[in-house]
Each structure stands twice: as structure tokens, then as C-alpha cells.
Amino acid sequence: MNVHNVGTAARAHRYDPGADAALRHPDWVIRHRNLHGVPEVLCLRRRVILIENTHDRATRRCNLAHAIAHIDLAHKATSGILSKRQELAADLLAARRLIALSDLAQAAVWAESFEELARELDVDDRVLWVRYRHLHPSERGHLFRVLDAKILTA
């Protein structure tokens, strides 16, 4: 199996936040708007998610996954603002959904830079960084075993 086939197979099972929202949160309205750089706006009362439309596709995908994570975690805003802890929790859940460990391990074997790895995983750099920083020790162990095996057989 060549690298191209591995990537295609991984993409077929990749988390799709748009499809997830349509399936599990059909009562929410999702729109792309010019938010002047704000990644996303979530109106819990009206059940509306607005996604910044000037960001690239991978970033929009990440921002929608982040918004869905807020909904799933039943976050409530205080004075219209979510706490830093809630933001981190949404980031972590979104990053785990967007980047399966098997995809990360496969892509990390051949990607030559952090940016290339993010591109292959169809996420922005920030989400990749969050996923990497918060890998569970067992996930980190798996990732390094895959990389070690690759280096030893190269």
C-alpha cells in the first residue's frame, strides 16, 4: 500500500463536523458569514452557529467542530462569554474528533513539517498543536512506537 492510498483510506473515515451537526443537531442553523476574523459565533439561545467565511476550509472545519463541542459539552455562557476552561474543553474534544490517532500516526511517518502534517490531517495548525499537546500517555506511546518502527525500517 503506498502513502497515497493510506491517506485516501484515512480520509474516508474522517470526522465531518457538518455531517455530525446535521445528524445530531438538526435544530441548529449553521451559516458562513464575514465575522471580521472572529472564528465562530455561537448563539445558544437561538441555536445558531456562525462561521467566519474568510478563513480557509481546514480552519472553518476546525471552528465548526469547536462549536459542536460546546453544544455537546452543554456549555452555558455567563454574561454572553464562555470561560477559558470551557474554551479549552471544546478545543480538546474538537481536536480529538478531528484527528484520529491512527491518522496522526500514519501522517507523522512521512510529513516533513508541522504544517505539512496539519495539511494532511485537514486541520489548522492550532488544532494540531492542541491535539499533540494533550495526547494521552498511551497515545503518545503508540505514536512514538509507530515512528520508531518507521525509522528502524527506513
H-run or E-run covering 65: helix 57-72
Q: Give whichever of 119 and 134 is closer to Zn ion, judged by the CB atom.
A: 134
Q: Where are the beta strands (DSSP E) in the chain?
A: 29-33, 40-43, 48-52
Radius of gyration of the chain (CA): 17
| Closest distance to Zn ion from the beta carbon of 88 (Å) | 9
Characterize 34-56 residue by residue with b for buried, 16 or more Cβ atoms within 10 angstroms of its Cβ, and e for exposed: ebeeebbebebeeeebbbbeebe
Instruction: For residues 70 and 74, give the distance between their C-alpha atoms in angstroms, rounded to a whole number.
Output: 6
- Nearest distance in Å: CB 138, Zn ion: 27
Distance between CA atoms of residues 103 and 149, nearest Å: 16
Nearest-approach distance from CB 80 to Zn ion, in angstroms: 12
Report in angstroms how near the CB of residue 55 gets to Zn ion at its nearest: 15
Query: Which C-beta is closer to Zn ion: that of 91 or that of 103?
Result: 91
Binders of Zn ion among residues 75 to 94 (CB under 5 A) are 87, 90
Cell numbers describing residue 60: 472553518
C-beta closer to Zn ion: residue 90 or 99: 90
Q: How many residues bind Zn ion, per CB under 5 A?
A: 2
Site pattern 9..28 for Zn ion (x: CB under 5 A): --------------------
Q: Which is nearer to Zn ion, 90 or 107 (CB)?
A: 90
The conformation of residue 27, written as its DSSP 8-state character, comes to: T
Contacting positions for Zn ion (CB under 5 A): 87, 90
